[in-house]
Structure 1
Amino acid sequence: MAIIQWYPGHIAKAEQELKRQLKNVDVVLEVLDARIPLASQHPQVSQWVGSKPRLLVINRQDMIPEELHSQWVAWFQSQGYSPYLTDAQAGKGIKSLLKAAQKAGEAVNEKRRSRGMRDRPVRAVVMGFPNVGKSALINRLVGRKIVQSARKAGVTRQLKWVRISDQIDLLDAPGVIPPKLKDQAAAIKLAICDDIGEAGYDLQNIASDLIDLLKQLHFTDVLENRYHLEVSNFTGSAYLSALATQRHNQDKERTARELLNDFRKGLMGTIPLELPPELV
């Protein structure tokens, strides 16, 4: 198993600023990766957020089978959360999320009115691990490209307030990640999904871990259909070596990158790396 640690300076700085700004926030939108909704939940967010309304945004719904959508929503609801499925790239699920954010913040203006004060825009923060789609989500909520967005970790470096409408302001926060990744099984899933920076892991180890995980989840047909190489008798590492010999003249690094890119771009199909706990 690969050992993964990644905590660049800009994330440490952003985390401190985010904690300060949370005092000014009315509602929290925590963005998760639909392929790994549990691994992409930051373990300290509950502590930071306290009693503020918190909506879970399960982004990249297009990258998991449709039958899992309602199952994840039901599971998170059973845990006391308000989950919303989105595909920020395609703009799906955005309107209902925006309405929910405004509704969650209504109590602020009710209190202001009771004191004879004017309404102000609800202040929401969009937060989560790097590269789970926060900036793409904000661009969809605003209706135009207002923050930089790319499918790689670490693009957003600073906190930035964005006015969506007269009703809501959004704080775009850089990805946050624990200083130490104690749950290495979760860290491996984050690396596979490109939700932490490449500097934190070895590409070949993570590609091997992906193969082992796909075998464990009974997705061996996905590998065999795409690469025309039977996987059952191989460990992840041995399969990567065999694949490198077959495809790239024994270049394991190139093969590892190709394998991970195929998964990350959805070229293998809609593959969840986690299931709601009662389905496991």
Structure 2
Amino acid sequence: MTLQLSGRWFLPCPHVSTHSIQCRTSPYPNPKFPQTRALSATASLFSPPPAIQIVGGKTPTWRENGSVTEAVDDEIDWAEMDADLYYWTRALRPVQWYPGHIAKTEKELKEQLKLIDVVIEVRDARIPLSTTHPQMDLWLGNRKRILVLNREDMISTADRNAWAMHFSRQGTKVVFSNGQLGMGTMKLSRLAKSLAAGVNVKRRAKGLLPRPVRAGIVGYPNVGKSSLINRLLKRRMCPAASRPGVTRELKWVRFGKDLELLDSPGILPMRISDQAAAIKLAICDDIGERSYDVADVAAILVQMLAKLPTVGMKALQNRYKIDVDGQCGKMFIEKLALRLFNGDVHQAAFRVLSDFRKGKFGWVALERPR
């Protein structure tokens, strides 16, 4: 029986027993996951009507305890999580967002890069791999670069250490920051000036007067670029808000006598080919809400949180007072909608996403180095 609460979204999500699950080699087109094994729920393949389910992935890491299923491993296999996420997103509408101002910004930014001494790339510390533009290395070439992982307060010390080690091995200068409170801003300023110190050495050798170091701040929407600049300047010089698309034009601002900063709007690729990364952008509010189905994204978030040892399905059930067997995120959102929002799926989904973004499950990273 199909439950019609919100159009196509609410198809039933039957419980799939471990006896009906078969492993198969999945021919993923994504080169990041070659030869990955994923689950195929054979029970759902032959049951009319065919329900789109966000379940399965790889070998289950769950144990049954009455109506509660929990991740049993203390450490999550992040490569496995990415493979699961890719599998879950295959049936969903693609997440794409490319408002008109981004195309204009990209063109202008390429021109301004010719004037920049050092580039400061800002990423979301919860998803550093998903918040880097695939063309960034090509645009920057040999220019000196500083990587800023903003929102360091939203990840654990273990996550922070893992990323610090990862980028250190790559020889990348990394600064952890909190754009809201200003942590890391002074270190960032000193590092930018030191990396670009050779600029004025060359100018003096040519008989030219010294000039301020020019640093361009780039990154995806809503990763905290403008907030970081405002904290550096200790005043509100750039518009900033907790939603993507607020900054819409490039702007130079002066920081003291020795540093000039270029604030730029968030830039995204015209087409996001990695839909697993796109879902993470949606979960973390780093992409426009019109680009995705809130209910689909919330359902996947539930499944990710259920699989993370630091959260687990039991924590979700305790928070929302909902008892759901298995690991079906859609059924969880369905029950929440019926319990709290008179069947309104959108409100239920938004509640779960909002709770995650506010740290109601603890501060949780959705990526670790692979």
TM-score category by the smaller chain?
over 0.9
Q: Paired residue for 1:253?
A: 346
Task: Please tell me whether the aligned partners of residues 131 and 194 of structure 1 are also in contact (alpha carbons under 8 angstroms).
Answer: yes
Q: Paired residue for 2:83?
A: none
Q: Paired residue for 2:360?
A: 267
- Return the offset for 1:232: 5.2
In our comparison, the structure showing a higher alpha carbon Rg is 2
Does residue 148 (structure 1) correspond to residue 248 (structure 2)? The answer is no
Letter in 2 for 1:155: V
Stretches of structure 1 that go unaligned for 5 or more consecutive residues are none
Query: Separation in 2 of the partners of 1:68 and 1:232?
Result: 30
Letter in 2 for 1:59: N
Q: Paired residue for 1:71?
A: 162
Pick from 291, 294, 298 the counterpart of residue 207 of structure 1. 298
Structure 1 residues 267 and 110: CA distance shift in structure 2, 3 A? same
Q: Paired residue for 2:28?
A: none
Query: Separation in 1 of the partners of 2:321 and 2:121?
Result: 39
Query: Separation in 2 of the partners of 1:62 and 1:171?
Result: 25
Q: Paired residue for 2:205?
A: 114
- Return the offset for 1:167: 0.4
Deviates more, 1:257-266 or 1:220-229: 220-229
Does residue 179 (structure 1) correspond to residue 267 (structure 2)? The answer is no
Letter in 2 for 1:119: P
- Return the offset for 1:157: 0.2
Task: Please tell me whether the aligned partners of residues 31 and 127 of structure 1 are also in contact (alpha carbons under 8 angstroms).
Answer: yes
Does residue 46 (structure 1) correspond to residue 137 (structure 2)? The answer is yes
Letter in 2 for 1:141: L
Structure 1 residues 225 and 27: CA distance shift in structure 2, 3 A? farther
Report the secondary structure of 1:55's partner residue.
strand
Residue deviations 1:222-259, cap 9 Å, x none?
Answer: 42342232455141111110111122121110011111
Task: Please tell me whether the aligned partners of residues 303 and 327 of structure 2 are also in contact (alpha carbons under 8 angstroms).
Answer: no
TM alignment of 1:1-280, pairs within 5 A: 1=89, 2=92, 3-218=94-309, 219-220=311-312, 221-230=314-323, 233-277=326-370
| TM-score (normalised: structure 2) | 0.73
Task: Please tell me whether the aligned partners of residues 217 and 273 of structure 1 are also in contact (alpha carbons under 8 angstroms).
Answer: no
| TM-score (normalised: structure 1) | 0.96
- Return the offset for 1:10: 0.7
Query: Separation in 2 of the partners of 1:56 and 1:88?
Result: 14
- Return the offset for 1:216: 3.1
Query: Separation in 1 of the partners of 2:265 and 2:176?
Result: 21
Report the secondary structure of 2:257's partner residue.
coil
Task: Please tell me whether the aligned partners of residues 58 and 85 of structure 1 are also in contact (alpha carbons under 8 angstroms).
Answer: yes
Structure 1 residues 242 and 104: CA distance shift in structure 2, 3 A? same
Report the secondary structure of 1:125's partner residue.
strand
Report the secondary structure of 2:214's partner residue.
strand
Query: Separation in 2 of the partners of 1:222 and 1:62?
Result: 21
- How many residue pairs match? The answer is 277
Task: Please tell me whether the aligned partners of residues 223 and 231 of structure 1 are also in contact (alpha carbons under 8 angstroms).
Answer: no
Structure 1 residues 87 and 230: CA distance shift in structure 2, 3 A? farther
Deviates more, 1:126-135 or 1:71-80: 71-80
Task: Please tell me whether the aligned partners of residues 306 and 327 of structure 2 are also in contact (alpha carbons under 8 angstroms).
Answer: no
Report the secondary structure of 1:269's partner residue.
coil
Structure 1 residues 234 and 117: CA distance shift in structure 2, 3 A? same
Query: Separation in 1 of the partners of 2:325 and 2:210?
Result: 62
Letter in 1 for 2:298: A
Query: Separation in 2 of the partners of 1:173 and 1:205?
Result: 31
Stretches of structure 2 that go unaligned for 5 or more consecutive residues are 1-88
Task: Please tell me whether the aligned partners of residues 306 and 316 of structure 2 are also in contact (alpha carbons under 8 angstroms).
Answer: no
Query: Separation in 1 of the partners of 2:324 and 2:155?
Result: 22
